[in-house]
Amino acid sequence: MDVSSFVAIIVSMVFVNNFILHKFLGLCSFIGVSKETRPAVSMGLAVTFVTTMSSIITWLIYRFILIPLDITYLRTISFILVIASFVQFVEMVVRKTSPALYKVFGIYLPLITVNCAVLGVAVLNSETFFLHDKAIGGSFIMSVVQGFFAGIGYLLAMFLMSGIRERLELSDVPHCFKDVPLAFVIASLMSLAFMGFNGFSL
């Protein structure tokens, strides 16, 4: 477990294998909440929190419950339960501390429960850092780092998308392209731009 391994995980999760712009996971909240920067960043922070905490708990569940009891086929449902619990916690905190932000999130905050990006991080951790049902050296720390920076990659994509969409509100856009159609065009161009990071070698 050396520094280069962590650098590779960070660069991979944020730029090369960004869950939105490379794996195309979590697009519903990406399109729905990226109209303005503040809710987009808040959503990114909420997703980062959930991916990080769920990476910790799902690693522990996979390592100390599913593998010893030979019930790894329950991985998906157990991971979803963990993610749902943290989303409920985040929802309660946001509702209590910022009702206005909670209203802006609307349906997209509860949708983190079924956000395939969050589940994708947990599944990727279990597939990457376990070999023949045994945890590789330093797998716990690497899982947490991967979960956190997957969330940071999501946050970066949300921030960039919201900045572009805010500026486009001041532009003369044909009616047929307004809102969601244009958002998908922007997302496609951003994805093409991020493909340039595939040339990184660490």
Q: What is the token pair recorded at 70?
A: 């030979």
Q: Using an 8 Å Cβ cutoff, are 55 and 147 in contact? A: yes
Residue indicated by tokens 């905490």: 53
Give domain status of residue 3, yes or no. Answer: no
Strand partners of residue 131: 134
Q: pLDDT grade, residue 191 (50/70/90)? A: very high
Residue 1 forms part of a structural domain: no
Instruction: Report the pLDDT value the prediction gives residue 200, as an integer from 0 to 100.
Output: 64
Report the run of H or E that residue 142 belongs to, with start and end. helix 139-168
Within a domain: 107: yes
Kindly state whether residue 17 falls inside one of the protein's structural domains: yes
Q: Which of 51-55, 103-107, 148-152, 189-193 has the lowest mean pLDDT?
A: 103-107
- Please say if the pLDDT value at position 103 is more than 70: yes
82 touches 111 (CB < 8 A): no
Contact 117, 25 (CB under 8 A): yes
66 in a domain, yes or no? yes
- Whether the per-residue pLDDT at 4 is higher than 80: the answer is yes
Kindly report the backbone phi and psi dihedral angles of residue 130, in degrees, each rounded to the nearest multiple of 5, phi listed first.
-130, 135
Average pLDDT, the chain: 88
The number of folded domains in the chain is 1
Joined together, the tokens standing for residue 127 give 């597939």
The answer for residues whose C-beta is within 8 angstroms of residue 195's C-beta and 6 or more apart is 22
Q: Which residue has the tokens 């999130």?
A: 105
Share of the chain above pLDDT 70, in %: 97
CA 15 – CA 113 distance, rounded (Å): 24
* 106-113, long-range: CB < 8 A, 24+ apart: 106/32, 108/28, 108/29, 108/32, 108/33, 108/43, 109/43, 109/46, 111/28, 111/29, 112/29, 112/46, 112/47, 112/50, 112/83, 112/87, 113/80, 113/83, 113/84, 113/87, 113/88
| Domain span at 49 | 9-170+184-191
pLDDT, residue 52, reads 93
The pTM of the full predicted model, rounded to 2 decimals, is 0.88
Tell whether 53 is covered by a domain: yes
